[in-house]
Copies of this chain bind each other. A is one copy, B any other.
Amino acid sequence: MRSGSSVNACRAKGSCLYSDGVSRPMTRTERRRHSQTRILTAARTLFQSKGYDRTTIRAVAAAAGVDPGLVMQHFGSKKELFRRSLADDPAQAPLADAEADLSPAEHLTAALFEQYGMKLGDIPENTLVLLRSMLTYPEATEKVRRNLAEQATRLTSEMTGDDRELRATLAVITMLGIILGRHVLELDVLTASAPEEIMDAIRPCLEALAEA
């Protein structure tokens, strides 16, 4: 009975309604993609809230409404599932060129806000997945280290002064701290403040770091 098995498949993976409003059985490929997506979404949610170690394959499968074995079938290992949870970054926007009429300090601050500021309100899940595990999962630690160093280097190239590398690093770390405080530690003062308020409050601080 094809319709019967189709109903089962639908229950397992959610709605089977297509854009034309007609419910029909999925192809193998479609169903495969659908499952993968569901699993990946569940994985991201759990990795993000509990970190790598405390997120189990079994819990991911349960949250996705599939069998644990299926998770392995699709992703091969927990490590790989984690990697895939980090991937597919939604358009990691490169730094735009500076407005011509900005001072160096304003420019650096603008660059930081462009990179982080827009994220203060709504951070991509990939980032939060990485941040949550950055202190305890070695692979995540290394990735964060590289990201921060890269961002600091980019800033350094636009700064002056003997200690510009140090100041650039401090600026990057400051933004990291704010994101941690707001989205991971969830300090109530930070979650209660609007992103614009936070940016306004931290701006003088960043501009101070920007100047030699």
**19 additional contacts, CB 8 Å, given A163-B200, A163-B201, A207-B208?**
A51-B53, A52-B136, A132-B135, A132-B136, A134-B135, A135-B135, A135-B184, A144-B185, A145-B185, A148-B185, A149-B188, A166-B193, A166-B197, A169-B187, A173-B178, A173-B181, A174-B177, A204-B211, A205-B208
Show 15 A/B contacts (Cβ-Cβ < 8 Å), sorted by A: A51-B53, A133-B135, A135-B136, A136-B136, A145-B186, A145-B187, A148-B187, A149-B188, A166-B190, A166-B193, A174-B174, A176-B177, A176-B180, A177-B177, A205-B205
List, in ascending order, chain B residues with CB within 8 A of A211's CB: 204
- A189 contacts the other chain (Cβ, under 8 Å)? yes
On chain A, the number of residues with a Cβ less than 8 Å from chain B's Cβ atoms is: 50
The CA of A207 and the CA of B149, in the complex, are separated in Å by: 26
- A198 contacts the other chain (Cβ, under 8 Å)? yes
A126 to chain B, nearest CB (A): 16
A46 to chain B, nearest CB (A): 12
CB contacts under 8 Å to B, within A150-192, are 152, 163, 165-167, 169-170, 173-174, 176-178, 180-181, 184-190
The CA of A183 and the CA of B91, in the complex, are separated in Å by: 32
**Residue contact A209 to B204, C-beta cutoff 8 Å:** yes
The CA of A28 and the CA of B187, in the complex, are separated in Å by: 47
- A170 touches which of B165, B167, B185, B202 (Cβ 8 Å): B202
**Residue contact A189 to B135, C-beta cutoff 8 Å:** no
**Residue contact A197 to B163, C-beta cutoff 8 Å:** yes
List, in ascending order, chain B residues with CB within 8 A of A163's CB: 197, 200-201
Nearest B residue to A190 by beta-carbon distance? B169
- A36 contacts the other chain (Cβ, under 8 Å)? no
- A141 contacts the other chain (Cβ, under 8 Å)? yes
Nearest B residue to A132 by beta-carbon distance? B135
